[in-house]
Amino acid sequence: MSSIDSVLKENRLFPPSDDFRVKANVSGMEGYNALCEQANGDYEGFWANLGRELVSWNKPFTKVLNDSNAPFFKWFEDGKLNISYNCIDRHLDARGDKTAIIFEADDGKSEHVSYRQLHARVCQFANGLKLLGVTKGDRVVVYMPHTVEAVVAMQACARIGAIHSVVFGGFSAGALRDRIQDAQAKIVITANEGFRGGKPVPLKATVDEAVAMEGSESIEKVIVLRRLENSSAAFNDARDVWWHELVEGQPTQCEPEWVDAEHPLFILYTSGSTGKPKGIQHSTGGYLLGALTTMKWVFDYREGDIYWCTADVGWITGHSYVAYGPLAIGATQVVFEGVPTFPDAGRFWQMIEKHKVTTFYTAPTAIRSLIKLGGDLPKQYDLSSLRLLGTVGEPINPEAWIWYHEVVGGGRCPIVDTWWQTETGANMIAPLPGAVATKPGSCTLPIPGIIADIVDEAGAPVEPGKGGFLVVRKPWPSMVRTIWNDPERFKKTYFPEDFNGQLYLAGDSAHFDENGYIWIMGRVDDVLNVSGHRLGTMEIESALVANPLVAEAAVVGKPHEIKGESVCAFVVLKGARPEGDDAKRIAKELREWVAHEIGKIAMPDEIRFGDNLPKTRSGKIMRRLLRDIAKGQEITQDTSTLENPAILEQLAKSAI
């Protein structure tokens, strides 16, 4: 818990400069407090006003919040809109020739796409989807490299009312199949290859493997972008369709499908503490409002900004802050296909200089790895265009925060540490940069209209300094609507009976400091946060146990300097416990197995073999003890309920 201790001692305060404050969309604490008062006074009226101001409706809503079937809340339910219209068409008159996307490929080539060009590309692809028989409500899986076409694919689905389910290109065929099957998707959109760090990523080959598996029968067509001229990827004439052939000759106009505000915009799978990943289902209207409100308040968007969020569209951050938010507000944004370390650790800084980025949003894990690889590198580039920095995905340690602030931000850029989740749709707790003074390591205060709190097991508010469960007291527009196909799990997970079904339970622990600032301490469930990516320990355990050699497995997180957390697996084999070179060989095999079953991001850094696992008399694996062993710590905790105490000593010596 050393990182939490150091966070606790952190009390440096960084107020916005006068210049930043004066120009900001929400100026000073007066501005912030005024918005909070409006929300407290008339919660629905507050969101309704924002909904009218920021979203373009085809049919205006008259109802705001419907909580008659809580926790299945509805927002703006009688309004009709199209999110692609909001992201593109509505800008065409005033900003048609403005650059919407500056795309930089892995190899450094860049391309500017104007709003008008984006409109034509989205319309043509939407028409292509229609030609393949995709209609409103159909599910379409997007398994793409992080390119303009990924955004086009998502926007085109939204334009015709199809529901996209983006699967990160690092996931394995098995993980892809699970998502295809759960959503009963009709189409997969992919590329023959992706590019990351100078190397091709065989996306199409993985799709072929996934679609051939049992459970993928719903897939009718696979659309393939020719990202690489000469790829060895197979092409099945009966099932596969080239992207360029599909759009050729298609009209550059496509009337948007006007959908109800509650129409599902997308499903995005995320890890939970038990079972398979959950299909988080988002709405159209409320989701869009969340993205727009935070673009305006948290990212303090102004005309002329060059916005760059480095997240891949495979994650929620790439949905809200690449595919939708920046376009909805009419920004110019950078979309980057590659990785921060290729060709070297100066890539981000070089790109900020090249594209004159004003607003830069990335993850603490990237910051930590770049500090390690070249803490002085930013100084070689002109980063004077930057005015605002952001982080997301995990708590940022104060040392990394200070480096980001000084070396990247030149001491002049506020840092917005944004706490939110796949389920929340948009930033929830984050400083409004022209108002709230920041503290390194704290995500500070809820954004106006978000009623966050920290409570104990009984649901009672905790005192400052005391850890508790992070909850949200009132429904908000961009919240998850349900878990696809599993409304019961939705209710149980997020609105548990322990809190009378009244509070949204985020799954994080947190505490308030004496100024009411919120400090996130980590997950309270069995979810790991590896490089800002959520992984369920159960998922990895299930993958390990599926290997014919493995009898039992327990997975825990271990603090990691760069990744935040790394995966440590304790494994019991069906045969004898392996030692020496045998242990090394089997550990390697199992790591590759997990990469194949789930994806490289889930690969254990460490595998330890034992004759057994520490269990309670009732047979429960005592993961807290395993966490201590993984950290190399002596076990000082209570082991009286342990059935087989001798196993601890064996596991403590089991590092290979």
Please report whether residue 534 would count as binding ligand 6R9 according to CB under 6 A.
yes
Please report whether residue 392 would count as binding ligand 6R9 according to CB under 6 A.
yes
CA distance 396 to 362: 11
CA distance 131 to 126: 9
User: Does the N-terminal peptide bond of residue 431 adopt cis geometry, omega within 30 degrees of 0?
Assistant: no
Q: Are 272 and 527 in contact (CB under 8 A)?
A: yes
Task: Specify which residues 554 forms β-bridges with.
Answer: 570
DSSP H/E element including 522: strand 518-523
599: DSSP letter = B
Q: Token pair for residue 571?
A: 């494994």
Q: Shortest gap between Cβ of 360 and ligand 6R9 (angstroms)?
A: 15
Q: Shortest gap between Cβ of 533 and ligand 6R9 (angstroms)?
A: 6
Residue 63 CB coordination number (10 Å):
14
One symbol per residue from 287 to 306: x for binding ligand 6R9 (CB under 6 A), - otherwise; what is it? --------------------
Please report whether residue 395 would count as binding ligand 6R9 according to CB under 6 A.
yes
Q: Shortest gap between Cβ of 7 and ligand 6R9 (angstroms)?
A: 10
Alpha helices in 144-200 (DSSP H): 148-160, 173-183
CA distance 256 to 261: 14
Q: Are 54 and 426 in contact (CB under 8 A)?
A: no
Q: Shortest gap between Cβ of 392 and ligand 6R9 (angstroms)?
A: 5
Please report whether residue 523 would count as binding ligand 6R9 according to CB under 6 A.
yes
CA distance 654 to 648: 10
When binding is defined by CB under 6 A, the residue of 27, 124, 172, 529 that contacts ligand 6R9 is 529
Please report whether residue 421 would count as binding ligand 6R9 according to CB under 6 A.
yes
User: For ligand 6R9, which is the closer residue by CB, 193 or 394?
Assistant: 394
When binding is defined by CB under 6 A, the residue of 329, 386, 520, 622 that contacts ligand 6R9 is 520
User: For ligand 6R9, which is the closer residue by CB, 300 or 508?
Assistant: 508
Residue 275 phi, psi dihedral angles, 5° rounding: 65, -160
CA distance 141 to 184: 10
Q: How many residues bind ligand 6R9 (CB under 6 A)?
A: 23
Please report whether residue 419 would count as binding ligand 6R9 according to CB under 6 A.
yes
204-212, 314-322, 374-382, 398-406 -> range binding ligand 6R9 (CB under 6 A): 314-322
CA distance 139 to 133: 12
Please report whether residue 420 would count as binding ligand 6R9 according to CB under 6 A.
yes
User: For ligand 6R9, which is the closer residue by CB, 35 or 316?
Assistant: 316
Q: Which of residues 483-512 bind ligand 6R9 (CB under 6 A)?
A: 506-508
Q: Token pair for residue 466?
A: 């005391």
Alpha helices in 55-172 (DSSP H): 83-87, 92-95, 115-131, 148-160
User: For ligand 6R9, which is the closer residue by CB, 76 or 469?
Assistant: 469
Q: Are 563 and 603 in contact (CB under 8 A)?
A: no
Please report whether residue 393 would count as binding ligand 6R9 according to CB under 6 A.
yes
DSSP H/E element including 54: helix 43-54
When binding is defined by CB under 6 A, the residue of 310, 418, 478, 509 that contacts ligand 6R9 is 418
Please report whether residue 541 would count as binding ligand 6R9 according to CB under 6 A.
no
Q: Which of residues 321-380 bind ligand 6R9 (CB under 6 A)?
A: none
Please report whether residue 270 would count as binding ligand 6R9 according to CB under 6 A.
yes
Q: Are 222 and 190 in contact (CB under 8 A)?
A: yes
196-204, 313-321, 549-557, 574-582 -> range binding ligand 6R9 (CB under 6 A): 313-321
3 state SS of 221: strand
User: For ligand 6R9, which is the closer residue by CB, 256 or 277?
Assistant: 277
Q: Shortest gap between Cβ of 489 and ligand 6R9 (angstroms)?
A: 16
Query: Is 482 marked within a binding site?
Result: no
3 state SS of 367: helix
Please report whether residue 471 would count as binding ligand 6R9 according to CB under 6 A.
no
Alpha helices in 398-475 (DSSP H): 398-403
Query: Is 550 marked within a binding site?
Result: yes
Please report whether residue 269 would count as binding ligand 6R9 according to CB under 6 A.
no
User: For ligand 6R9, which is the closer residue by CB, 126 or 567?
Assistant: 567
**Cβ neighbours for 597, distance < 8 A, ≥ 6 positions apart:** 172, 174, 175, 543, 546
User: For ligand 6R9, which is the closer residue by CB, 117 or 359?
Assistant: 359
Q: Shortest gap between Cβ of 99 and ligand 6R9 (angstroms)?
A: 26
**Cβ neighbours for 2, distance < 8 A, ≥ 6 positions apart:** none
Q: Shortest gap between Cβ of 153 and ligand 6R9 (angstroms)?
A: 21
User: Does the N-terminal peptide bond of residue 71 adopt cis geometry, omega within 30 degrees of 0?
Assistant: yes
Query: Is 545 marked within a binding site?
Result: yes
Q: Shortest gap between Cβ of 439 and ligand 6R9 (angstroms)?
A: 13
CA distance 553 to 464: 38
Residue nearest to ligand 6R9 (CB): 422
CA distance 271 to 541: 13
180-188, 365-373, 398-406, 529-537 -> range binding ligand 6R9 (CB under 6 A): 529-537
Query: Is 395 marked within a binding site?
Result: yes
Residue 297 phi, psi dihedral angles, 5° rounding: -90, -50
Query: Is 196 marked within a binding site?
Result: yes
Cα–Cα distances (Å) from 154 to 105, 166, 308, 615, in that order, read 19, 8, 18, 46
User: For ligand 6R9, which is the closer residue by CB, 133 or 516?
Assistant: 516
Residue 131 CB coordination number (10 Å):
12
Please report whether residue 394 would count as binding ligand 6R9 according to CB under 6 A.
yes
Q: Shortest gap between Cβ of 270 and ligand 6R9 (angstroms)?
A: 5
CA distance 652 to 628: 9
Query: Is 51 marked within a binding site?
Result: no
Please report whether residue 316 would count as binding ligand 6R9 according to CB under 6 A.
yes
DSSP H/E element including 489: helix 487-494
CA distance 431 to 505: 21
Query: Is 624 marked within a binding site?
Result: no
78-86, 310-318, 446-454, 617-625 -> range binding ligand 6R9 (CB under 6 A): 310-318
357: DSSP letter = -
Q: Are 546 and 594 in contact (CB under 8 A)?
A: no
User: For ligand 6R9, which is the closer residue by CB, 116 or 473?
Assistant: 473
115-131 vs 148-160: helix axis angle to the nearest 10?
60
User: For ligand 6R9, which is the closer residue by CB, 88 or 316?
Assistant: 316
Q: Shortest gap between Cβ of 362 and ligand 6R9 (angstroms)?
A: 12
Please report whether residue 478 would count as binding ligand 6R9 according to CB under 6 A.
no
Annotated binding site: 196-199, 317, 393-395, 417-422, 508, 523, 531, 534, 545, 550
Binding-site positions for Mg(2+): 545, 550
Binding site for ligand 6R9 (CB under 6 A): 270, 315-317, 392-395, 417-422, 443, 506-508, 520, 523, 529, 532, 534
Residue positions forming the annotated binding site for CoA: 196-199, 317, 531
Known binding-site residues for ATP equal 393-395, 417-422, 508, 523, 534
